[in-house]
């Protein structure tokens, strides 16, 4: 998975997004994954992007699930959705500085039986782009981008 330069704690792009929604969650709260999925689903419904709901909710579920598994204790996880007329960006932040690990090699050779290790492959398969960046204050952000016009048949 490609890496980029460190991401500031408060991204400068907030003001330039057409639409923006964010929620802070706790890694050890039992309802963190369902709250994240519900927020993504309701946000895309509000923004009238129904053709993206299933893929985005699955990606949010995988990214937040990874953060919950790898961030111990009462640490924060952030979920942010940014929408421009052509793109939807999903960002999941956590306080673990370790980079995400993708399965290596040919995806057709993946062992589909293990409990762990498929999430980022699923995200890469569904999103139009996936990457991560370290955060200035520690931790990391994992991003995925969906091309909004692709689902509507618009070039």
Give the pLDDT of residue 102. 64
Sheet holding 87-94, edge to edge: 19-26, 76-83, 87-94, 140-147, 129-134
Give the pLDDT of residue 25. 94
- Cα separations in angstroms, 96 against 28, 119, 126: 14, 17, 24
Phi and psi at residue 52, to the nearest 5°: -100, -15
pTM of the predicted model as reported, rounded to 2 decimal places: 0.80
H/E run at residue 125: helix 119-126
Stretches where the chain sits below pLDDT 70 are 1-17, 102-117, 150-155
Give the pLDDT of residue 12. 46
Q: Which segments of 10-94 does DSSP mark as H helices, in order?
A: 32-46, 53-70
């Amino acid at each position: 998975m490609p890496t980029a330069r460190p991401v500031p704690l408060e991204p400068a792009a907030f003001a330039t997004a057409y639409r923006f929604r964010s929620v802070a969650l706790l890694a050890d709260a039992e309802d963190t994954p369902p709250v994240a999925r519900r927020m993504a689903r309701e946000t895309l419904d509000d923004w009238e992007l129904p053709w993206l709901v299933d893929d985005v909710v699955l990606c949010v579920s995988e990214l937040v699930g990874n953060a919950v598994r790898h961030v111990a204790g009462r640490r924060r996880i952030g979920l942010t959705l940014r929408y421009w007329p052509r793109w939807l960006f999903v960002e999941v932040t956590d306080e673990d500085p370790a980079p995400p690990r993708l399965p290596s090699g040919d995806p057709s050779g993946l062992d589909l039986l293990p409990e762990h290790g498929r999430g980022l492959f699923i995200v890469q398969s569904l999103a139009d782009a996936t990457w991560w960046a370290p955060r200035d204050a520690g931790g990391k952000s994992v991003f995925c981008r969906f091309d909004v016009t692709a689902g509507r048949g618009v070039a």
